[in-house]
Chain A
Amino acid sequence: MTTILAIETSCDETAAAIISDGRTIHANIVASQIDLHAQYGGVFPEVASRAHTESISAVVGQAMDEADLEYSQLDAIAVTQGPGLVGSLLVGVGFAKGLALATGLPLLGINHLEGHVYSQWLADGFCEPAFPIIAMIVSGGHSELLLMRGHGRYQRLGGTIDDAAGEAFDKVGRTLGLPFPGGPAIEKAAQCGNASAYAFPRAKTDSAYDVSFSGLKTAVMRAVTLQPKDRSHRQRRAENHAQLRDDVHIPDVAAAFQAAATDTLVNAAYCGARDHAASALFVSGGVSANKLLRDKLRDRLELPIHTPPLFLCSDNAAMIGAAAHFRYLAGLRSRLDIEARARWMLSEDVYAAG
């Protein structure tokens, strides 16, 4: 049995988990900063970094307590090395390096996106897939479509050419005055909305595997905010946010936006799966919690659709531990001088350079 302590601090969550054999969760602790950022209506990189620093030791300690393990019973320490906010990543990477040095355990620097892919391995009853599979990662910071040919073998098929899927949900949610994060808020508002009340566009991209949400976001803005002819240029500049029209029915906008956004994602996933004879589609990341997206994928694709359990859709360390397990089995180890990598695409050579 291989048991790994995993640490994740790439963005708003300070997380630690202990995983055996890439499948069994002994502990999964997430200290979220969402309340902190929502309270002030924005992200403060320094505050985020400080909050990680303040909580990481306690979060790791709590994970070890819950798993009822000593460091001597672990096989490795894994940490999210990137991509993400550099100040936040540094906290986790620094802590993991120190721990590896102190315990003598091997260190594994893990790509956050690969973690999202491996969140599937932690689902109840998950069976090892027959590769190739298509992996779609949809979150606040990422929208990636990947062909996965084996453990650690990725080919990037496409992704967003402008805004990430979760970012579009957040920006539309914020414009509509809905609470942060926008994804769950829009999904909830859409329940009593009419999706055909607005005809929002489904963007066409040069590659069928790419997605675009910028045009959709613009169309929503135009439909729900006061148009520039109503106000002077100077007046508009003075405001931080566009003003909502009085006649906007928020549930309808939410439903129509959600319908368009999910159509765009379903289409890219469909094309990827069709062209590469994939045996399954793995959807992960925060947006994969969206029920309409899950339902539409099941309707459109004649393939098994795997989604992680809801508590593993958003950022967590358990998925980092699952990804690390397969790295560990392959004999890969990171040096103790690894650095945080703010930008790090998941591709075939993702660990070759590590």
Chain B
Amino acid sequence: MILLRSNSPAATSRLGRKLGALLTAGDVVCLSGGLGAGKTCLCRGIGVGYGAQTQLTSPSYNLVHEHRRAQYETRLYHLDCYRLGNPQAAQSLGIDDILDGSGAVIIEWAERIEPFLPSERLWIDFDIRGESRRDLHCQAMGDRHISLLADFLRALESDAA
């Protein structure tokens, strides 16, 4: 478990930019933490880093937003399970197709559909520590996501240096 700290929404968004630049098809990033923890804020940064042609906003209402970037075919799927009635409802969202490895996937309120998530993933849990301070607990499962997390940390270090 890796702990990252953010002291502002802008810092959370910067973390997202670093992570977004690394995402490729097959990556699954699960996000949890209460309302206002900064999940969508991180996603906004991920979209910028990824090079999405459309801005990432909250998909709470429409449940799934699909984004593309100019040069590559890989889609970025942005899911939000806040409004979902139960985990089974995720199946009717076409979660199996979304997770078929053809795109990168980020999932807000991922804990609500945990039984339907792949075991290999990067999980980021937000902990609200103060007015704008957030702790991000990052845990990677499986080789692919362990190296994604390692690359992410390296990118943050090189930025700090």
Contacts and interface: CB of A to CB of B under 8 A. Distances in A.
Real binding pair: yes
Interface of A: 11, 37, 40-47, 49, 83-87, 140-141, 159-164, 166-167, 171, 175, 214-215, 217-222, 225, 227-228, 233, 236-237, 240, 242, 342-343, 345
27 contacts: A37-B85, A40-B86, A41-B85, A42-B89, A43-B83, A44-B84, A44-B85, A44-B86, A44-B89, A46-B91, A46-B92, A47-B85, A47-B89, A85-B62, A85-B63, A86-B94, A87-B92, A162-B40, A166-B61, A167-B61, A171-B82, A217-B35, A222-B128, A236-B127, A240-B112, A242-B34, A342-B64
Contacts of A167: 58, 60-61
A43 B85 contact: yes
Given A40-B85, A236-B34, A342-B66, 19 more contacts: A42-B84, A42-B85, A43-B84, A46-B89, A46-B91, A85-B63, A161-B44, A161-B55, A162-B40, A162-B44, A162-B57, A163-B60, A166-B61, A171-B82, A175-B35, A219-B36, A221-B36, A236-B127, A237-B125
A274 to B, nearest CB: 24
Contacts of A141: 61-62
B52 to A, nearest CB: 12
A224 to B, nearest CB: 11
B6 interface: no
Contacts of B61: 11, 140-141, 164, 166-167
Contacts of B63: 43, 45, 85
Given A45-B92, A228-B129, A221 B34 contact: yes
B35 A164 contact: no
A167 B40 CA distance: 13
A254 B16 CA distance: 32
B41 interface: yes
A84 B65 CA distance: 10
Given A44-B86, A228-B129, A163 B40 contact: yes
Contacts of A233: 127
Given A161-B55, A221-B34, A228-B128, A215 B9 contact: yes
Contact of B54 (A162, A163, A242, A343): A343
Contacts of B111: 237
B127 A162 contact: no
A220 B58 CA distance: 18
A44 B90 CA distance: 8
B62 A83 contact: yes
A225 B66 CA distance: 33
B73 interface: no
Contacts of B40: 162-163, 214
B92 A214 contact: no
Contacts of B84: 42-44
B86 A42 contact: yes
A70 to B, nearest CB: 36
B4 interface: no
Nearest to A175: B35
Interface string B113-131: 0000000000001011101
A51 to B, nearest CB: 12
A166 B61 CA distance: 9
Nearest to B125: A237
A250 B92 CA distance: 36
Instruction: Enumerate the 5 nearest inter-chain pairs by beta-carbon distance, A residue then B residue, closest first.
Output: A46-B92, A218-B36, A42-B85, A141-B61, A221-B36
Given A49-B92, A85-B62, A233-B127, A214 B86 contact: no
A242 B89 CA distance: 23
A220 B131 CA distance: 11
Contacts of A83: 62
Contacts of B62: 83-85, 141, 342-343
Interface in B28-80: 32, 34-36, 40-41, 44, 54-55, 57-58, 60-66
Nearest to B135: A233
Given A42-B83, A44-B84, A342-B62, A237 B57 contact: no
